[in-house]
Structure 1
Amino acid sequence: MDKLLFSSIESLERTLIIGLMAYLVLVIQLRISGKRTLSKMNSFDFIVTIALGSTLATVLLSKDVPLLDGIAAFALLIFLQYVITWGSVRSKKLSSLVKATPTLLLYQGTFLWDAMKTERITREEILAAIRSKGIGTVEEVGAVILETEGSISVIRELADGKESSVLQDVEKPAR
């Protein structure tokens, strides 16, 4: 029962020292890896973030994992994230495997219910996004897009009669 709250001063010291060192190394590695590592998350970025957190927790709390092993794991995860993002910028095929496609949810004032259902987005969420842009009516909206990282973009108006260039990579429902 005593070990439930406190096992030893050495264990506590190890946790504090290893925790501080691992945290500092992780911050330094993330700064070196660039802004893309910490950008808005798509599913791949989310997985890397969870893996980094899990690795940090394991290094902090497991006496069986030396600090250097944890640092190597941080470096490997950040390197893999860098390689994947570097490759996805240069390859559409890799990019489509790693990132989702933006989805059109509302077009020229009309809700696209099938797309909303597929993406699990409610009418109320779309209305909130429209209101946040200071737009008073749905009819004033050219398009609402669910972006790859989950944010909702609202475009006030689109050019009449021609396909808008900002919608070229957006998944559009069949008409």
Structure 2
Amino acid sequence: MDWGNMLFQDWEGIVRTLFVGLLAYICLVCFLRISGKRTLAKLNAFDLVVTVALGSTLSAILLQESIALAEGASALGLLILMQYLVAFTSVRWSGFARVVRSQPSLLARNGEFCRNAMKQERVTEEEVESAIRANGGREVEDTSAVILESDGSISVIR
């Protein structure tokens, strides 16, 4: 095993990573500014997938010499364009929105757990109680509703 090659190969690779990385980062920031705040919103599973895909694509551009900056920028642009089109269509067509986005689920109502919903959403009583404490409550009886939101967060209405 060549330990020296594992730690350092050559300056050309480092300079390429720095140069392409800077340009790819600037490109990504410009695309995100053009596409708007919604592109990286934490609203649903689809948004999370796009956010992870953007990070993965940026990483590939930085580290894989076989990917040219123009190809990487095209991939970033495509992901952002698809996110924009999904959001645009979701706002205008509720049927499409139902397919792409999950609906909030009621986990507790009037101080009692909704066990069927909790089972379906794979949420434990301990997780609901933790959310209640994080929102200033002590126990489920202190709430009028506990809701699992579309983004995976838990809202507590006291």
Compute the TM-score of the two structures, normalised by the length of structure 1: 0.84
1:52 deviates by 0.9
Match of residue 20, structure 2, among 3, 6, 18:
18
Higher helix share: 2
1:137-156 paired onto structure 2 within 5 Å: 137-156=139-158
Distance 1:137 1:60 in 2: 48
Distance 1:113 1:4 in 2: 53
Question: Which range moves more in the overlay, 11-20 or 117-126?
Answer: 117-126
Is 2:106–2:114's contact at 8 Å kept on the other side of the alignment? yes
1:144 deviates by 0.7
Match of residue 71, structure 1, among 70, 73, 81:
73
1:91 aligned onto 2:98: no
Q: Which runs of 5+ in 2 are unaligned?
A: none
Distance 2:91 2:98 in 1: 10
What SS class does the counterpart of residue 105 from structure 1 fall into?
strand
Distance 2:89 2:95 in 1: 10
Offset from partner CA, 1:33-80 (integer Å, 9 cap, x none): 111112114111111112111111111111111101111111110010
Question: Identity, % of aligned pairs?
Answer: 50
Is 2:105–2:148's contact at 8 Å kept on the other side of the alignment? yes
Aligned positions, number: 156
Structure 1 residue ranges, 4+ long, deviating more than 6 angstroms after superposition: none
1:89 deviates by 0.9
Match of residue 125, structure 2, among 98, 123, 126:
123
Q: Which runs of 5+ in 1 are unaligned?
A: 157-175
Distance 2:129 2:94 in 1: 32
Distance 1:63 1:140 in 2: 57
